[in-house]
Amino acid sequence: MTSASEALERLKDGNRRFASSEAQLDMRLVHRRDALLEGQQPMAIILGCSDSRVPVELIFDQGPGELFVIRVAGNIVASSQIGSVEFAAAQFGISLVVVLGHTHCGAVETTLEELQRETQSQSKNLRSIVGRIGPAVQGLLATELKHEPGALMHEAVRSNVRASVNQLRHGSDILERLIETGALRIVGAEYSLETGLVDFFHCAVD
């Protein structure tokens, strides 16, 4: 079983290879498929955004069977995401969860626009996503960041990641127990579309 610290270092190493165009994934794909027929033992759970520009396995240079990936617009946390994390942590003994946001997140941008200029054109399903991101970013609109779109977006993405991390940490008795016993660590990170690098910026344990 891979410890949280070991998994985090492997993710960081893989991302460095990806960002420097030294990825090794192609060399492992063919050999991994047959080995996974009897089961899987992923080293980390990644809750990331559905954005097509953020292919999770690629940016961490990891092959099939190495990551348990949950993707949803805005990397939000709802019951199904919590259940997926609970399942993977219990089924595979995974000790690391990464909530992965990214620059230029369309879901966060849409939420900021909606908070500043409410519209009625969204479906109830899209509004449910905006509704989950809104509480994490609304307070930023009461600061000077409101007049600096780039800085506002940067802080909003990170605030949304922090909110999702905290929802996972405190939204499930199962996950809380695993965290309390040191069996699970949940961290937040941001992928840069500009550089290809992942910044693990929210790694403190409550």
Kindly list the averaged pLDDT for each block of 10 residues, start to end, along the chain of length 206.
93 94 71 76 97 96 94 96 97 97 97 82 82 96 94 97 97 96 97 98 67
Q: Residue 129 corresponds to which amino acid?
A: I
Domains of the chain with CATH codes: 4-103+161-202 (3.40.1050.10)
Cα separations (Å) of 194 from 78, 103, 197, 198? 29, 8, 8, 11
| Dist CA 13 CA 159 (whole Å) | 25
User: Which pLDDT value is given to residue 29?
Assistant: 62
Whether pTM > 0.85 for this model: the answer is: yes
pLDDT tens digits for 33-85?
677 888 889 999 999 999 999 999 999 999 889 999 999 999 999 999 999 99
User: Which pLDDT value is given to residue 204?
Assistant: 62
Helix and strand totals (H; E) in the chain = 8, 5
> Parallel, antiparallel, or unpaired for β 96-102 and 67-71?
unpaired
